[in-house]
Structure 1
Amino acid sequence: MRRTRSEPREDWAEKVEAHGLAFHRTAHPEHLPRPYWDESVHYVFEMDEVLALEAVVEELHEMCLQVVEHVVTTGRYNVLGIPDWVAPLIEESWRRRDPHLYGRFDLRYGGDGPAKLLEYNADTPTALVESAVVQWFWLQDAFPGDDQWNSIHERLVARWKEIGSGLPDDGPAHFAWTNGDETGEEVMTIAYMQQTAEEAGLSGIAIAMEDIGWHPERERFVDLHDDEIRTLCKLYPWEWIVSEPFGRSIPAAPTTWIEPIWKMVLSNKALLVLLWELFPGHPNLLPTYLNTPSDLTSYVQKPLLGREGASMRIVTPDGSEQRTQGDYGAEGFVFQEFCALPDFDGEHPVLGAWVVDDESAGLGIRETSGLITDDTSSFVPHRIPV
């Protein structure tokens, strides 16, 4: 793995916007001198390195599924702060094997040792459009003879075909974002999800979460035309859904949810605690504890349900401390051993390794000049020399 400089394409901003990254200006703080999409640099991997990382990702994913089985079998929902009334829904969903679509592992890796799991974004992962589409077109323009760890689009279409075979054939799937997203990132991401589903032969309708209604007589979720929502693919976290007034209606409705409710177990950072408990000493895990640093002298304190690096506290080996703003943490914290991100020319990459269904699917890289990957970080492409 190495970082190298490259000449940005002429009119690169218009090109990435044409490929769906319309939010690269709005989702990134305006005062930063560096753009969100930065193709003036990129990372280079060797094929054997990628194959090894793919194996790590699939092993981690399998371990995560074992954690779901463990939680369902033992009833340890309290570790994750999941409400009691939600636990039976998770168990039923898991036992039915409700289909899941995708996820993104965030890994610490610099080419000098085993990849370390930082967290798993299993319910509403973002950076999908830039990972699946935008960097692929960059590769075709800039390095057409090279390869890329990227089969995300093809795998999403294939997975939708599998999921679609089990969905009701008398109505379209609905694809939902929230009006609370002011950057447009959710709208473009869910629109891309709808596109992959439609390529797989499913019909789709876009809808805002705020426009979903509940029909008490029919006991069905409905759209603005009072049509039943039979399948809902959403970019709205499950922990928010179950806390909404309509959340209590979920058990009565036959709606198929993408992602399914059993993913609440995986979209919670207490997953990291359970992974370390079930697989202690695993080379791709960092020691992580619930609500206590235990014997850790340097650590990252993360809220169970935090997002975009908010409400975090970092204690480094030299004893210095750094905090980020945010309102998360009422549900508790995990304490994960501090593992400094690799340093490439003063920038620190985090590898976002994608899973579609149960298989490794691709890579997106975000860089930060600080200790935490947040909304000030930039996305950079990668390639594999052929």
Structure 2
Amino acid sequence: MRRQRSARRDGWEKTIESQGLAYHRSAHPSGLDRPYWDEAVHYAFTMEEVLSLESQVEELHAMCLAAVEHVVAAGRYRDFAIPEWVAPEIEASWRRRDPHVYGRFDLRYDGRGPAKLLEYNADTPTSLVESSLVQWFWLKDVHPADDQWNSIHERLVDRWRELPLQTGPAHFAWTNMDETGEEAMTLGYLQETAEQAGRATVAIAMEDIGWDSRALRFVDMEHRVIRTLCKLYPWEWAVADPFGPRAVRGQVSMTWIEPLWKMLLSNKALLALLWELHPGHPNLLPAYLDGPRDLPAHIAKPLLGREGASMRVVTPDGAHSTEGDYGAEGYVYQEFRALPDFDGWRPVLGAWVVGDEAAGLGIRETSGLITDDTSSFVPHRIAL
């Protein structure tokens, strides 16, 4: 694993915008010296590294599925701050094996040892467009003789094709709360992969979904019954909304992507449970729900936090916190191991899973201790 510099392509901004990364300006805070998409640098991997990472990611995913089974069998929903009324529906969703499509593991990796799990974005993962499309086209333009850990697009199309969806079009819903356009473009891309798989699709805003009180079903603006809904609206938000009970209890008559049981995998209490079930596993960091225990350095992560908000790093040298409104639901305390330093920048690897198979890699860099919305996305290649 090496960090290398390269010249930006002429007109790179218009190029990536034409490929779907229209939000690269709006999704990045203003006033930063570095753009969100930064192709002036990239990471080069060997094929042996990538094959090893693929194997590690698939093992982590299998461990996560086993953790869901453990929570359901033992009824450990309270550890995840899951409302009691939701728990039976999560169990039913899991027992039915409601279909899932994709997720993204965030990993610490320095090229010298096993990857360490930082969190699993299993319900509403983003950075999909740049991981699947934009960096692939960069590779073809700049390093056409090399390869990339990236079969995301093909696997998404295949996954939509094999899913046992109900009849009628699949609806893809963004929320009007998204001011950057990232959510709309991500869902538009997912919609495109479903169409390439031969699925009929409809785009809709979450705010435009209605409830038919006679049929007891959700409907779109044309009064069509919604039988499949792909959304980037977190389940914890949906559960707290007025329509939440209808969404949760109507699982059996409607396919949600991602399914309700993914609430357990998108919750950072998962980190403590995995360490409990697999203590000392080479891909895990020690993590606990009742406090940092004897960890010499730790990071407190809110169970439902996003974009690095409301976190606190405590080391023998001091403490560092990020702003945010998360944390009322509780925290997990994970051993803090700083991201590896490459020329003053710290990468976090976003390893994608489609279905149950490792599918590709996206990398974000930060100069600080915590990866947040100021980080930049950089491409990668496999040097052949």
Q: Smaller-chain TM-score range? A: over 0.9
The structural deviation recorded for 1:370 is 0.3
Measure, in 2, the Cα distance between the counterparts of 1:296 and 1:266: 24
Measure, in 2, the Cα distance between the counterparts of 1:336 and 1:209: 34
Measure, in 2, the Cα distance between the counterparts of 1:88 and 1:196: 32
The structural deviation recorded for 1:221 is 0.5
Task: Give the letter for the 1:72 counterpart.
Answer: V
With over 3 angstroms needed to count, the CA separation of the structure-2 counterparts of 1:382 and 1:252, relative to structure 1, is closer
Deviations 1:158-209 (A, max 9, x none): 000011xx2222x211001111010000000000000000000001111111
CA RMSD of aligned residues (A): 0.8
Measure, in 1, the Cα distance between the counterparts of 2:84 and 2:54: 36
Task: Give the letter for the 1:37 counterpart.
Answer: W
Partner of 2:214: 217
Match status 1:178 vs 2:171: no
Match status 1:161 vs 2:161: yes
Measure, in 2, the Cα distance between the counterparts of 1:45 and 1:352: 14
1:383 counterpart SS class: strand
Match status 1:268 vs 2:267: yes
2:243 counterpart SS class: helix
Match status 1:63 vs 2:60: no
Relative to the length of structure 2, the TM-score reads 0.98
Match status 1:244 vs 2:237: no
The structural deviation recorded for 1:30 is 1.4
Task: Give the letter for the 1:210 counterpart.
Answer: E
Measure, in 1, the Cα distance between the counterparts of 2:221 and 2:243: 16
Measure, in 2, the Cα distance between the counterparts of 1:140 and 1:194: 24
After superposition, residues 279-318 of structure 1 pair within 5 angstroms as 279-316=278-315, 318=316
Partner of 1:235: 232
Q: Is the 8 A contact 1:107 1:117 kept in 2?
A: yes
Partner of 1:369: 367
Measure, in 2, the Cα distance between the counterparts of 1:103 and 1:157: 15
Partner of 1:44: 44
Q: Which runs of 4+ in 1 moved over 4 A?
A: none
Task: Give the letter for the 2:295 counterpart.
Answer: L
Q: Is the 8 A contact 1:291 1:332 kept in 2?
A: no
Relative to the length of structure 1, the TM-score reads 0.98
The structural deviation recorded for 1:319 is 2.8
The structural deviation recorded for 1:297 is 2.2
Q: Is the 8 A contact 2:166 2:255 kept in 1?
A: no
1:175 counterpart SS class: strand
How many positions carry a matched residue from both structures? Answer: 382
- Where structure 1 has 5 or more consecutive residues not aligned to the other structure, the ranges are none
Match status 1:258 vs 2:257: yes
Measure, in 1, the Cα distance between the counterparts of 2:250 and 2:133: 38
Q: Is the 8 A contact 1:298 1:319 kept in 2?
A: no
Measure, in 1, the Cα distance between the counterparts of 2:352 and 2:109: 15
Task: Give the letter for the 1:203 counterpart.
Answer: A
Partner of 2:137: 137
Measure, in 1, the Cα distance between the counterparts of 2:328 and 2:206: 24
Partner of 2:108: 108
Measure, in 2, the Cα distance between the counterparts of 1:57 and 1:153: 18
- Where structure 2 has 5 or more consecutive residues not aligned to the other structure, the ranges are none
1:365 counterpart SS class: strand
Partner of 1:189: 186
1:360 equivalent among 352, 358, 361: 358
Match status 1:327 vs 2:320: no
Measure, in 1, the Cα distance between the counterparts of 2:287 and 2:226: 39
2:306 counterpart SS class: coil
Measure, in 1, the Cα distance between the counterparts of 2:317 and 2:325: 25
Measure, in 1, the Cα distance between the counterparts of 2:32 and 2:317: 29
After superposition, residues 89-104 of structure 1 pair within 5 angstroms as 89-104=89-104
Partner of 2:377: 379
Measure, in 2, the Cα distance between the counterparts of 1:255 and 1:219: 11
1:355 counterpart SS class: strand
Measure, in 1, the Cα distance between the counterparts of 2:276 and 2:250: 35
Measure, in 1, the Cα distance between the counterparts of 2:250 and 2:364: 41
Q: Is the 8 A contact 2:174 2:184 kept in 1?
A: yes
Measure, in 1, the Cα distance between the counterparts of 2:124 and 2:47: 29
Partner of 1:124: 124
Deviations 1:326-347 (A, max 9, x none): 0000100000001110000000
Measure, in 1, the Cα distance between the counterparts of 2:368 and 2:333: 19
Measure, in 2, the Cα distance between the counterparts of 1:324 and 1:139: 35
Measure, in 2, the Cα distance between the counterparts of 1:224 and 1:297: 55
Task: Give the letter for the 2:35 counterpart.
Answer: P
The structural deviation recorded for 1:213 is 1.1
